[in-house]
């Protein structure tokens, strides 16, 4: 797998978000501005990532794997932080922070798969 800057940036943003949210759960805090904004940063990154992918494709760099699979992962990844956010808003307990943290970890896994699809590396 060829690792590019977008993957590294996304992994860092999602990992920091996950760590912040898990730390908040450990100290028994309900979802607050910091945890929710960390998940919002993940969502913002995904929007930038999708925009960059469109620009890369428009510039002639094609997805080496199946394009529909890449875009399917991207759309699903966009929904994960939104679902975690709504969970945290509706159930304002410390456990909601673990859901927010799980969203960050899920996005890291999805970014790995999207990079594999972009570079046509078979899934292990």
Could you state, in order of their start, the residue ranges of all structural domains in the chain?
A: 5-119
d(CA 65, CA 17): 29
Per-residue confidence in pLDDT tens, the chain, 124 aa = 567 888 999 999 999 999 999 999 999 988 999 999 999 999 999 999 999 999 988 888 888 888 899 999 999 999 999 999 999 999 888 889 999 999 999 999 999 999 999 887 666 6
H-run or E-run covering 97: helix 94-119
Whole-structure pTM value: 0.89
């Amino acid at each position: 797998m060829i690792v590019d800057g977008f993957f590294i940036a996304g992994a860092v943003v999602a990992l920091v978000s996950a760590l912040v949210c898990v730390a908040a759960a450990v100290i028994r805090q309900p979802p607050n501005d910091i945890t929710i904004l960390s998940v919002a940063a993940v969502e913002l990154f995904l929007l930038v990532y999708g925009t960059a992918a469109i620009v890369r494709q428009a510039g002639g760099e094609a997805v080496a794997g199946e394009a529909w699979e890449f875009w399917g992962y991207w759309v699903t990844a966009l929904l994960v932080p939104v679902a975690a956010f709504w969970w945290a808003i509706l159930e304002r307990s410390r456990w909601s922070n673990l859901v927010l943290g799980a969203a960050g970890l899920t996005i890291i896994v999805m970014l790995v798969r999207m990079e594999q699809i972009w570079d046509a590396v078979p899934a292990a």
